[in-house]
Amino acid sequence: MLLKVLRNGLGLIFVFVSWLTNPKPMKRSEADQAAVQAKAKDLALYQLYACPFCLKTRRAMHRLNVDIEKRDIKHLQNREALETQGGRVKVPCLRIGEGENAQWLYESSDIIQYLDGLFSKQKSI
């Protein structure tokens, strides 16, 4: 119990420090930003709010100025979807695509590399 309280407290401190030091988002024209958001509509990030690796992934999303749906696995339906469709309960996990053809990408560094490849080549202004 004490370990859980300590972990959650430290996680919230990490979230606050991250908020203070968030990178500036990439600037794009309205048309380019709309194209980015269209690409992101089939993505979902399964996460825990105070997880440091999820935080690292969300910072990259902020830097790339891409709004990806976030699904916290504290909610039972999200946790079950991650386990049954993704194969294991581990966060962060990026669901790419919809339905049975969805791919599940684990590991924050792999997710960030995938997002950089998908969105950093979009024109910035």
Instruction: State the Cα–Cα distance between residues 122 and 88, nearest whole angstrom.
Output: 32
Question: What is d(CA 56, CA 98) in angstroms, rounded to the nearest whole number?
Answer: 24
What number is the average pLDDT over the span 23-42? 91
| pTM confidence score | 0.86
pLDDT given for residue 122 in this prediction:
57
Query: Is residue 44 pLDDT above 70, yes or no?
Result: yes
Q: Could you tell me which residues come within 8 angstroms of residue 95 by beta carbon, excluding any fewer than 6 positions away?
A: 43, 44, 45, 46, 85, 86, 102, 103, 104
pLDDT category, 37, cuts 50, 70, 90? very high
**Residue 123, pLDDT above cutoff 60:** no
* Superfamily of the domain at 2-119: Glutaredoxin (3.40.30.10)
What digits encode the pLDDT tens for the residues 64-115? 999 999 999 999 999 999 999 999 999 999 999 987 789 999 999 999 999 9
* Ranges of each domain in the chain: 2-119
* Average pLDDT of span 8-13: 79
DSSP H helix total and E strand total for the chain: 5, 4
Query: Of 4-13, 43-52, 107-116, where does mean pLDDT reach its minimum?
Result: 4-13
